Structure 1
Amino acid sequence: MKVLEWNTAAFSLFLICHSLLFGQSLGHQIALYVHNKCPFPIWPATAPNTGHPVIADGGFYLPAGETQRIYAPWDWSGRIWARTGCNFASNWQPACETGDCDGRLACNGLIGTPPVTLVQLSLQADKSMPNFYDVSLVDGYNLPVAVTTKQISPKCTVGGCSKNLKNSCPAELQVLNRYGKIVACKSACLAFNLDSFCCRNEYGSPEKCKPSVYSKMFKAACPYYYSYAFDSPAPLVNCASNEYVIAFCPSSWGSEATSI
């Protein structure tokens, strides 16, 4: 009987400690609700910045209309993007039409092949400090995306696009799939690899690197995103929250408006 009493007490203590540790663990995480509002499946992917862990195995399948909740440490920084047109059961290389990471479903830290619309996150370990996030077209575009806190606030929202950028993408920037359909639009830097477009070397300052006709086209279609390296004012959002929503194709696919 004494042994049973001791075991019962020990088990109760274990449950209390487990509950406290589990609660502390959840308190040290940020929830990211990845929502696919596109009328087709996507394969969201994640890649950490140096020194940070891989989250959500680096990639997963997300059917149209579905939401996947993933977790990141509260001091995590990295990038999230959507891959499109993937077929991991074939011998195709790459496995995805856009955003491919060496043909893998779980990117496991690999960075996707541009051009992709890139969500960039920098979470802060100090909960009193805001988290920073933005959407970048510096390497190009494949899908519209919106980011906001779960409790939606205009000041905490990176909106979608007012136009379908693929419809207005110049021929020299277009990425076509095997059927000749435009699946992405390169940035001028990615397409031409010139210092003046990439804002490097003698053009490596805001004074020297100005918007190009291409970055202006990107900005007109997607005014809430970075259109080139020194986009000003910087479309960077900083809001404190434990929950964020990342919505791909955040409005009707035809108009790609800014509502989430």
Structure 2
Amino acid sequence: MRIWNNCPFTVWPGLLNNPNKALPEGGGFALEKYHTTTFRVPDGWAGRVWARTNCNGAGHCETGDCGNKIQCSGAGGVPPVSLAEFTLDGWQGQDYYDVSLVDGYNLPLAIFPIDGTYKRVGGGKYDCNNAGWQADINAHCPNELAQKNSAGATVACRSACMQFNTDEYCCRGAHNKPETCKSRDWKVNYPAIFKQSCRDAYSYAYDDTSSTFTCHSADGRKTGYVIKVCP
């Protein structure tokens, strides 16, 4: 797996994975602007990757903080944060991957399968294609969802679930199924704001059909992926 920081500033990738699997890079590190780093994950790995911003020497980050430390060591990123999510070597060796805004947004992300490491099966839109987007959602985040820094700049955009904590937006209680978690029950269709900027990203908990990508390895090799920040 490779992480590529295409932002004009340093980011601090964070990693969180399934139990009993190796945690690459201790779960976090600094990555300078326009630099890449590569690491290996074990078979059957599942996890998420995110990019933290404006971390200080003590490890506290303005967005995506994982507990005031550079190596997250098994801690997740504090929302709102954009996520690259993976479940590798699933049913019949199939990988699943997506970009999720269910926990909100801080930076644009994209996932690219690496040429020569995969094969397409079926050739549909979600078969080994790129996931993610380029748009800056902070630029048009509704004021009621905006997370601002001390200078008053919007540095992240909260999800409606995080901001309002209702069963309707969080898809829980009577709304805990795809059939009952519907936009007709939302006072404002906030997930659509995320979806308009990134049509292939998860915008709420049951947004599977337009957000989950799959891929198969080629000739016994494991599919490689690039996670690009600021694509």
Give distance in 2, aligned partners of 1:234 and 1:164.
20
Report deviation, 1:71: 1.1
Q: Distance in 2 between matches of 1:45 and 1:131?
A: 21
Distance across 2 between alignment mates of 1:69 and 1:53: 15
* Match of residue 207, structure 2, among 220, 231, 234: 231
Write the distance in 2 (CA, Å) between the matches of 1:227 and 1:157.
19
- 1:245 and 1:66 mapped to 2: Cα distance? 12
CA distance in 1, matches of 2:60, 2:172: 32
2:156 corresponds to which residue?
184
The residue that corresponds to 2:97 in the other structure is: 133
Between the two proteins, the alignment pairs up a number of residues equal to: 214
Q: Tell me if 1:35 matches 2:42.
A: no
Write the deviation string for residues 126-148 of structure 1: whole angstroms up to 9, x where unpaired.
8x612111111111001111112
Bigger radius of gyration, 1 or 2?
1
What's the counterpart of residue 31 of structure 2? 62
Q: Could you tell me the TM-score, scaled by structure 1's length?
A: 0.77
2:132 is paired with a residue whose SS is coil
- When normalised by structure 2's length, the TM-score is 0.87
Q: Deviations over 1:57-81 (max 9, x none)?
A: 1001100100000111021111110
Displacement, 1:232? 4.9
Partner secondary structure for residue 194 of structure 2: helix
Runs of 4+ in 1 over 4 A off after TM superposition: none
Correspondence 1:53 to 2:49 = no
CA shift, 1:125, in A, is: 7.0
Report the Cα offset of residue 162 of structure 1.
5.3
Question: Aligned with 1:167: secondary structure?
Answer: helix
Unpaired runs of at least 5, structure 2: none
- 1:245 is aligned to 2:210: no
Superposed, 1:166-181 pairs within 5 Å as 166-181=138-153
C-alpha distance 133-125 of structure 1, shift in aligned 2 (>3 A): closer
- 1:216-252: CA deviation from partner (whole Å, max 9, x where unpaired): 11100111100001115241111124311110111xx
Q: Which runs of 5+ in 1 are unaligned?
A: 1-31, 251-260
- Pair 1:44 & 2:13 matched: yes
Q: What CA distance in whole angstroms lies between the structure 2 residues aligned with 1:240 and 1:64?
A: 31
Q: Distance in 2 between matches of 1:204 and 1:185?
A: 24
**1:175-203 CA deviation, whole Å, 9 max, x = no partner?**
11121111100000011110000000110
Q: Greater helix percent: which structure?
A: 1
Q: Distance in 1 between matches of 2:112 and 2:135?
A: 20
Secondary structure of residue in 1 paired with 2:168? helix
Distance in 1 between the 2:150 and 2:60 partners?
Answer: 12
* 1:1-260 correspondence to structure 2 within 5 Å: 32-89=1-58, 95-124=60-89, 129-151=93-115, 155-161=127-133, 163-211=135-183, 212=186, 213-241=189-217, 242=222, 243-250=224-231
| Conserved? CA contact 2:84–2:97, under 8 Å | yes
How far, CA to CA, are the matches of 1:79 and 1:146 in structure 2? Answer: 13
Deviation of 1:150 after TM superposition, in Å, equals: 1.1
- The answer as to whether partners of 1:135 and 1:158 remain within 8 angstroms in 2 is no
Equivalent residue letter for 1:247:
K
Equivalent in the alignment of 1:23: none
Q: Distance in 1 between matches of 2:22 and 2:150?
A: 35
Deviates more, 1:154-163 or 1:237-246: 154-163
